């Protein structure tokens, strides 16, 4: 506005004023301009103040441009966005980008707690917060996590596979030549944390195999990628924040992933992988820090990695590795059944001193949902034991009354064993006996894989933030946004059903995948669209429209359940022509840029 005056401060104390009340900041009461302070301050912020005269009956448009960059970049962007019309064009570009991306999937189901999330919110949370912002009100970070953003990116396969490809290559560049990886790192310099985590590196071959299976893009396996170099961890040193540098050799993405899998295949006294300073559960960082503790979950996970990635070794002619990995698969399956089974469910692992964790003999953490779910997801457990393990999860960890799926029970509290910093959390908070939504979604996926279609859909809806906020009473207890997934929900009185932190959680990408792939049953395998719904009998069906990236063809899927029995696909037709049905229905992905109608009928 004409004759407007501007002021700012980077000092929170200057903005709030004494006594520092956020409810009545001094800057909003005073006519004095902000002090313009920048540099090192104890409590930083950014506050900008614009003063102007507003004539009676008039209006004023004030434009704020916020961003980050060096001085040259900042000045250029400020010039480009000067004026209301430039800002409006920029805002329009943003809206068109998100509109185009989120409109790739349209879903209509009988479950109102799912549709809005599937039609944009989960995708937006994953990209904007997890992949780009990497921070939120509840957790201010900015780093890239090796395992975290690989999983996040895979949720983008039906929408923007090129972003997944770029993510694979980025993460491979943050692997050491020894095979281990940076647990997390900060761009652009690549400073990050080298650790003894067991599972970080194994997510690279797992994610590469998932990407190739969906896209058929084998060319990515030959992409040349350098490694990083830094000092090794000292004996007894669990982790170190290090400067790293790119180094030779430059090898293919396939070789990076294969090197990671080789490094991950450690063995303890039970022939199962070492726990290290955490496997998937970071809070269990002292279960195996002395190098003897073992992880049953890691055994199941590695079986899944091997079975997904070994066909790529066959294709590459890497016969020696393929044979070695298949031998490891057989050894792991035998060890899991001989040592991992506790009688009614699978143990979580063993401490360095040989004491079991996640066992009926344990004083605390007698059962852990993570390992039961992956006994199913890996396909390694015999059917009877997989069923029994998930029965135990249903009895002991799923609480429909409390509307959550606990990660473990009972919570760590007084046990003489030291599992790690998880024990420092209050009982029922985060991983320590609360719902950790990431793992809860794997429980839902496992139930769907076992064909428990009533329970899978019911529990998926129960995990939705929309369900947690569906009444004023629920909303007040939950206390978080109804449109983004929460990382955790508290599980012990007096905070049962209270949401922990939202936005910055890998649960968003997994909820999208579990809903689309496991419950609605829509996947892509070897260039074919596969439909194997796992919906409740009570559903009349659902409809879905997917605009395929690249070809821009549209599949308009209608799933019908006329007999209210959704046990299997009994009939299907594409553009009016009948299709063969066996294990669901499979059709080649269309690439002609046209819309195609796929009708699927369920029955007994």
Asked if the model's pLDDT at residue 2 lies above 60, the reply is no
How confident is the model over 194-245, as pLDDT tens digits? 999 999 999 999 999 999 999 999 999 999 999 999 999 999 999 999 999 9
Give the three-state DSSP class for 257: helix
pLDDT at position 446 is 98
Burial class from Cβ neighbours inside 10 Å (0-12, 13-18, 19+) for residue 233 reads middle
Q: What is the 3-state secondary structure (H, E, C) of 502-533?
A: ECCCCHHHHHHHHHHHHHCCEEEECCEEEECC
Of 175, 419, 198, 182, the residue nearest 298 (C-alpha):
198
pLDDT tier, 1 (very low <50, low <70, confident <90, very high otherwise)? low
Asked if the model's pLDDT at residue 444 lies above 90, the reply is yes
How confident is the model over 173-206, as pLDDT tens digits? 999 999 999 999 999 888 999 999 999 999 999 9
pLDDT at position 82 is 84
| Mean pLDDT calculated for residue range 448-473 | 97
Euclidean distance between CA atoms 498 and 477, whole angstroms: 6
pLDDT above 90 as % of the chain: 86
Q: DSSP labels for 36-50?
A: ---SS-SSEEEEEEE
How confident is the model over 77-121, as pLDDT tens digits? 888 888 889 989 999 999 999 999 999 999 999 999 999 999 999
| Mean pLDDT calculated for residue range 156-168 | 97
How many residues can be counted in the chain? 604
- Residue 292 structure tokens: 């003897």
pLDDT at position 84 is 85
Is 561 in contact with 602 (CB distance < 8 Å)?
yes
Residue 417 has a CB neighbour count (10 Å cut-off) of 17
CA atoms within 13 A on the CB side of 141: 21
H-helix segments, 103-243: 115-116, 122-124, 146-154, 161-172, 203-215
Euclidean distance between CA atoms 120 and 159, whole angstroms: 11
Going through 80-206 in order, the beta strands assigned E by DSSP cover 105-108, 144-145, 182-186, 191-195
Burial class from Cβ neighbours inside 10 Å (0-12, 13-18, 19+) for residue 431 reads buried
| Mean pLDDT calculated for residue range 409-436 | 96
| Mean pLDDT calculated for residue range 485-512 | 96
pLDDT at position 21 is 77
Q: Is the model's pTM score more than 0.75? A: yes
Asked if the model's pLDDT at residue 402 lies above 90, the reply is yes
pLDDT tier, 55 (very low <50, low <70, confident <90, very high otherwise)? confident
Of 172, 191, 201, 258, the residue nearest 231 (C-alpha):
191
pLDDT above 70 as % of the chain: 99
Is 276 in contact with 198 (CB distance < 8 Å)?
yes
Give the three-state DSSP class for 569: strand
Asked if the model's pLDDT at residue 397 lies above 70, the reply is yes
The DSSP call for residue 218 is G
- Residue 263 structure tokens: 């490094």
Euclidean distance between CA atoms 439 and 373, whole angstroms: 8
β-strand pairing of 541-547 with 294-295? unpaired
Asked if the model's pLDDT at residue 532 lies above 70, the reply is yes
């Amino acid at each position: 506005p004409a004759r407007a005056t501007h002021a700012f401060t980077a000092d929170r104390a200057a903005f709030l004023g004494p006594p520092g009340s956020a409810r009545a900041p001094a800057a909003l009461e005073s006519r004095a301009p902000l002090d313009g302070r920048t540099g090192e301050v104890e409590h930083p912020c950014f506050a900008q103040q614009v003063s102007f005269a507003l004539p009676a009956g008039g209006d004023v448009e004030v434009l704020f441009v916020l961003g980050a960059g060096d001085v040259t970049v900042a000045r250029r962007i400020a010039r480009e966005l000067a004026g209301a019309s430039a800002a409006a064009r920029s805002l329009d570009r943003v809206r068109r980008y998100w509109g185009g991306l989120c409109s790739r999937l349209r879903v209509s189901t009988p479950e109102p707690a799912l549709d809005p999330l599937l039609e944009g919110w989960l995708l937006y949370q994953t990209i904007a917060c997890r992949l780009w912002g990497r921070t939120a009100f509840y957790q201010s970070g900015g780093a890239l996590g090796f395992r975290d953003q690989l999983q996040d990116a895979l949720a983008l396969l039906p929408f923007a596979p090129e972003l997944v490809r770029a993510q694979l290559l980025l993460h491979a560049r943050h692997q050491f030549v020894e095979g281990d990886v940076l647990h997390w790192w900060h761009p652009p310099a690549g400073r990050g944390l080298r650790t003894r985590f067991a599972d970080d590196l194994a997510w690279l071959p797992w994610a590469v195999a998932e990407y190739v299976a969906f896209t058929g893009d084998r060319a990515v396996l030959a992409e040349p990628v350098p490694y990083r170099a830094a000092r090794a961890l000292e004996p007894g040193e669990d982790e170190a924040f290090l400067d790293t540098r790119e180094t030779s050799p430059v090898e293919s993405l396939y070789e990076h992933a294969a090197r990671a899998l080789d490094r991950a295949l450690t063995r303890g006294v039970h022939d199962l992988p070492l726990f290290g300073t955490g496997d998937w559960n970071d809070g269990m960082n002292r279960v195996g820090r002395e190098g003897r503790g073992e992880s049953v979950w890691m055994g199941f996970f590695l079986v899944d990695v091997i079975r997904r990635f070994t066909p790529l070794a066959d294709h590459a002619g890497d016969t020696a590795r393929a044979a070695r990995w298949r031998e490891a698969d057989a050894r792991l399956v035998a060890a899991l059944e001989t040592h991992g089974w506790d009688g009614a469910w699978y143990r979580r692992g063993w401490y360095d001193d040989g004491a079991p964790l996640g066992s009926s003999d344990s004083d605390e953490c007698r059962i852990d949902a993570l390992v039961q779910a992956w006994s199913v997801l890996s396909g390694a457990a015999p059917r009877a034991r997989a069923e029994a393990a998930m029965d135990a999860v249903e009895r002991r960890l799923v609480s429909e009354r409390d509307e959550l799926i606990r990660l473990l029970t009972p919570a760590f509290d007084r046990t003489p064993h030291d599992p790690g910093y998880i024990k420092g959390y209050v009982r029922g908070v985060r991983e320590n006996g609360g719902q950790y939504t990431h793992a809860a979604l794997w429980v839902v996926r496992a139930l769907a894989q076992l064909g428990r279609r009533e329970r899978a859909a019911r529990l998926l809806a129960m995990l939705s933030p929309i369900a947690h906020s569906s009444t004023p009473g629920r909303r007040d207890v939950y206390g978080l946004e109804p449109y983004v997934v929460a990382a955790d929900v508290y599980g012990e009185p007096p905070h049962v059903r209270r949401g922990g932190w939202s936005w910055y959680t890998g649960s968003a990408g997994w909820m999208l995948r579990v809903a689309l792939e496991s419950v609605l049953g829509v996947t892509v395998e070897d260039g074919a669209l596969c439909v194997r719904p796992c919906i409740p009998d009570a559903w009349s069906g659902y409809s879905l429209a997917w605009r395929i990236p690249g070809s821009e063809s549209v599949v308009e899927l209608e799933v019908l359940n006329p007999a209210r029995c959704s046990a299997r696909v009994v009939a299907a037709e594409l553009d009016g022509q009948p299709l063969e049905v066996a294990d669901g229905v499979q059709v080649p992905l269309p690439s002609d840029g046209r819309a195609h109608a796929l009708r699927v009928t369920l029955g007994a």
